[in-house]
Amino acid sequence: SFVGNAPLEAQVEAVARLPQDIKVTLDPGELYATLGMDGIAPLLERADVVMPNMGELLKMTGQRTREKAADLLFDLGVEAVVCKMGAKGIMTYVRDGRSHKNAGGTYGTKVRGDTVGAGDVANAGYLAGMVLGLSHIGACYLADECAYASIGGHGREAYPDKAFLMDKLKFARAMEGHRGSSG
C-alpha cells in the first residue's frame, strides 16, 4: 500500500488494465484496511486472493469474525482469503466453503528471532505455492512454514531460500496427494 489518494488511484488504474486471466492478490496493509471495503472496492473486486492479517481483515470489513469477513469478500468475487493470525497460524478461507487452518510450524510457541516481515514472507510462500501448482490448502501450508522459518533469526538472515522452498514443496505436494485436494 502507498500513502495518499494518487497512489491508490494509480493502483486501481493499473489493475483495471490487466487482462482478466491475470490473477491479482492484495495484502491491504493497515492503511488500506482503514479505508474499508468501500475505499478499496475496485481493488477488492478484481482480487482473486486477499491476504490481510486478522486485525486488517476485521477492520476492512467491519465484521467481528473472520468467517463473516471472508463471506463479504466472497460476495465481491474474491476466491480465497488468507488470514495471517500471528502465533495462531494462518487461516485460509476458500469461496467454495472450504477452510483450512495451518498452525503447524507457524511462529510456534516461542518467537525465536525477529517477526518483522513474517507476514510478507508468508505472502511470498503462499504465492510461490500457487504459482507452483498447489491448492489453496497446500499454499497455506507453504506460507506457514516460510513464515516460521523467517523468524528463526534477525532481519533477512533466516528468510527461506530455494532449497527450503523445494523441500517444503515436496511435503506439500505429498500432503495434497494424500488428501486428494484440488483447488
Do 63 and 121 fall within a single domain? Answer: no
The predicted-structure confidence for 12-23, as pLDDT tens digits, reads as follows 999 999 999 999
Q: Is residue 48 in some structural domain?
A: yes
> Last residue of a domain, which of 78, 95, 115?
78
In the DSSP assignment, the letter for residue 19 is -
The predicted-structure confidence for 102-141, as pLDDT tens digits, reads as follows 544 444 445 567 788 889 999 999 999 999 999 888 898 8
Q: Model-level pTM?
A: 0.86
Q: With contact defined as beta carbons under 8 Å apart, do 135 and 174 qualify?
A: no
Number of domains in the chain: 2
- Residue 136 belongs to what domain range? 103-177
Do 74 and 3 fall within a single domain? Answer: yes
Taking the C-alpha atoms of residue 97 and residue 90, their distance in angstroms, rounded to an integer, is: 17
Instruction: Using pLDDT thresholds of 50, 70 and 90, give the confidence band for residue 71.
Output: very high
Q: 112 — phi, psi (to 5°)?
A: -95, -15
Average pLDDT across the chain, whole number:
86
